[in-house]
Amino acid sequence: MSKYASDDSIDLFELLRVSWKGRWIIVGTAIAFLTISGIYAVTASKWYQAEVLLAPAKDSGVPALGGDLGSLAALAGVSVGDNDSIEPLASLKSRSFARKFIEEQSLLPVLLTDEWDEIEKSWKGDDPDRWPDIRDGVEFFHDEVLSVRDERQTGLVTLGIAWTDPNVASAWANELARRLNRDLRQDALAEAEANIEYLRAELAKTNVVTLQQSIGRLLETELQKMMLARGNEEFAFRVIDPAVPPKDAYRPRRILIVLFFTILGSALALLYVLASHYLGASPENSKGTEA
């Protein structure tokens, strides 16, 4: 038992001795990593994140249809009294919504500014096949700019925009929230108008009193839905807390960057010192043993 303890102690002291012998390599490497990471942290572009807090709009007041009337609406392909069918959160996260925003605001050169020649007003490079397109812009927007967090218990949604200009970040966040309500409102109006036109045509074709009454109630519900959509700008989400230009940068996190790379540099230098010692000592030991 004591023999193993002694061997362990010798190994530990040997590691400490080797590490101390190569201390200047370790210290020099740590200082180099610290300097490089510090320069990067200071010169890297600051990104700011602006956030809009949203809450699902309250129930529209359009009654849900059940029983035979609900079955009739389903058979007719009419969707009434169900705001959730619009799926506002899915629309916010969709690539089509981001694509429309980027195209309408002409943001592709802004998002992919490293590949855009501002003087020539064209993409860099001579090969048009290698120029970025809207798909690259949407991917960058989703990966680097847009963030959406939803709390299932409360239903609250946080729409975040990260950008190098705090004023632009807050403007984009508020504009996205406004556009989401606008687009979903327009979709709901178009759906209601199509349903009303269809129901009116069906009502004119039937002479069955009970069917006329059922279609009349469906028609009344669609008219309520259209009226509420027209009079409510915050159709899908209510803005609880609009975005304001953030004061502090979202990234880079300078202290964490410097600390991480300094520790990484020290660890790599220590491994190098130990590996150099033991790998370099092995051939000598083996030669001595053979002799």
* 254-273 confidence digits (pLDDT tens): 788 889 989 998 999 889 88
Distance of alpha carbon 243 from alpha carbon 76, whole angstroms: 42
Instruction: Report the 10 Å Cβ neighbour count for 175.
Output: 16
Please tell me which residue, 288 or 13, carries the higher pLDDT value: 13
Backbone phi, psi, residue 241, to 5°: -145, 105
Strands laid side by side in the 157-163 sheet:
146-150, 157-163, 48-56, 237-241
Q: Tokens 């925009």: give the residue.
A: 161
Q: Are 162 and 169 contacting, i.e. CB atoms less than 8 angstroms apart?
A: yes
Nearest to 135 by CA among 108, 155, 109: 108
Residue 286 confidence class, pLDDT cut points 50, 70, 90: very low
Domain residue extents for the chain = 20-44+253-290, 48-241
Distance of alpha carbon 260 from alpha carbon 189, whole angstroms: 54
Q: Which pLDDT score, from 0 to 100, does residue 254 have?
A: 77
Render pLDDT for 230-251 as a digit per residue (tens, 0 to 9). Answer: 877 888 899 999 999 999 888 8
